[in-house]
């Protein structure tokens, strides 16, 4: 399931296999099947419609390194009197692969994920991979399941839509996001905060509360990513009112699988940057000896 299906090098307009038709005949059955070139164009159009960033178009779970894992809290022993819980380390690669395989059940049951962890550990990448599989799930399964819609958006981008001129296109997109089959809500917690309490505004919190409550009501799977810790998230999205109820966290705790994503080897972005830097040094450096040592004293 988690493959770059149809993303070959052949372009549709000059494909020698299908001779510009977009279909090829299966030899054994004489059934017309979509050609790889047609699949490429079709899948790419669905990925673009889902607003998945281009850097994740060709990512697969096999690129998830072995030192990336997740911690999950076992709430089965949780009571109001005894808040002690057990935390277990799980195989994130295997968990996500099983999650993708059962996407039909995920959609039917409205199963959602809340992934938190440090910057650059892979939360956004894996959520984009799941979403990518969702929007081409019908094609891969040869029509055995319905076409699923999907959308990728940061929470800040979602907020910004409410400050645009309220034309029909913006209103329609907001409604589409609220009701899309699979939604990735990325970088929750990166939106502006009030300086007096270091929290998002009441309006921002109300937008998040409304979106999650609406999607939970209709069992629409949502994947949330945040760089905040669990305690930071609870603090930032708890109302300033005296009520002890944390409305937003109660939605997540009651209907989401909560995963702390961690990477033992550091940040993906830092590793990628280091790799690119090494390639540039190897190819273009005039002198392999550094002219300035890091931390060297400035000349007087």
Position 164 scores a pLDDT of 85
Instruction: Copy the structure tokens of residue 68.
Output: 């990336």
Q: What is the dihedral of CA 158, 160, 166, 170, to 10 degrees?
A: -40
* SS3 of residue 33 by DSSP: strand
Higher pLDDT, 81 or 171: 171
Q: Residue 21 in 3-state DSSP? A: coil
pLDDT in tens, 64-88: 888 999 999 876 655 554 455 688 9
Res. 51: pLDDT tops 90: yes
For residues 167-176, average pLDDT: 92
CA distance 40 to 176: 25
- Specify the pLDDT at position 298: 47
pLDDT at 3 over 80: no
254-268 pLDDT, tens digit each: 999 999 999 986 655
pLDDT at 106 over 50: yes
Sheet holding 68-74, edge to edge: 86-90, 68-74, 256-263, 112-116, 222-226, 182-186, 150-154
Secondary-structure class of domain 34-272 per CATH: alpha beta
User: What share of the chain in percent tops pLDDT 70?
Assistant: 78
DSSP 3-state percent helix, strand, coil across the chain (nearest 5):
45, 15, 40
pTM confidence score: 0.80
Please state, as a whole number, how many other Cβ atoms lie within 10 Å of the Cβ of residue 229. 14
Q: Using CB atoms within 10 Å of the CB of residue 199, give its burial: 0 to 12 exposed, 13 to 18 middle, 19+ buried.
A: middle
189 or 284, greater pLDDT: 189
Q: Is the pLDDT of residue 59 over 70?
A: yes
pLDDT band at 44 (very low <50, low <70, confident <90, very high): confident
Q: What angle do CA 134, 210, 137 make, to 5 degrees?
A: 5
Tokens of 37: 């070139």
39 burial level (CB within 10 Å; 0-12, 13-18, 19+): buried
CB atoms inside a 10 Å sphere around CB 175: 10
Alpha helices (runs of H) in 58-201, residue ranges in sequence order: 92-101, 103-109, 123-135, 137-140, 155-161, 168-179
The pLDDT of residue 299 is: 44
247 vs 198: which has the higher pLDDT: 247
Q: How far is CA 62 from CA 9, 50, 92, 225, in A?
A: 21, 22, 12, 20
Under a CB-based contact definition with an 8 Å cutoff, are residues 248 and 209 in contact? Answer: yes
pLDDT at 43: 83
Q: What is the pLDDT of residues 6-31, one digit of tens each?
A: 444 334 455 777 766 667 887 777 77
- What does the pLDDT read at residue 252? 95
Judged against a pLDDT cut of 60, whether residue 1 lies above it is answered with: no
Distance between CA atoms of residues 281 and 34, nearest Å: 45
């Amino acid at each position: 399931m988690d493959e770059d299906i149809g993303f070959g090098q052949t372009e549709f307009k000059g494909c020698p296999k299908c001779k510009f038709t977009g279909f090829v005949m299966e030899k054994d059955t004489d059934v017309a099947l979509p050609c790889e070139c047609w699949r490429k164009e079709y899948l790419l159009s669905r990925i673009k419609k889902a607003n998945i960033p281009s850097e994740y178009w060709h990512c697969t779970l096999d690129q998830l390194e072995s030192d990336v894992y997740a911690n999950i809290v076992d709430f089965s022993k949780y009571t109001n009197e005894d808040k002690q819980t057990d935390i277990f380390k799980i195989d994130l690669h295997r968990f996500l692969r099983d999650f993708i395989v059962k996407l039909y059940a995920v959609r039917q049951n409205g199963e959602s994920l809340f992934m938190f962890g440090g910057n650059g550990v892979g939360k956004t990448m894996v959520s984009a991979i799941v979403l990518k599989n969702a929007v081409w799930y019908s094609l891969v399964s040869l029509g055995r399941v319905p076409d699923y819609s999907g959308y990728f958006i940061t929470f800040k981008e979602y907020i910004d839509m409410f400050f645009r001129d309220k034309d029909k296109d913006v209103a329609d997109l907001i409604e589409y996001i609220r009701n899309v089959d699979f939604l990735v809500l990325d970088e929750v917690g990166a939106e502006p905060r009030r300086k007096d309490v270091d929290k998002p505004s009441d309006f921002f919190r109300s937008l998040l509360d409304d979106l999650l409550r609406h999607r939970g009501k209709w069992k629409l799977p949502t994947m949330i990513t945040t760089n905040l810790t669990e305690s930071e998230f609870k603090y930032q999205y708890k109302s300033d009112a005296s009520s002890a109820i944390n409305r937003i966290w109660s939605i997540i705790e009651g209907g989401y699988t909560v995963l702390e994503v961690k990477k033992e080897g550091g940040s993906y972005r830092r590793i990628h940057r280091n790799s690119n830097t090494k390639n540039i040094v190897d190819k273009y450096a005039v002198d392999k000896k550094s002219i300035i040592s890091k931390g060297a004293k400035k000349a007087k």
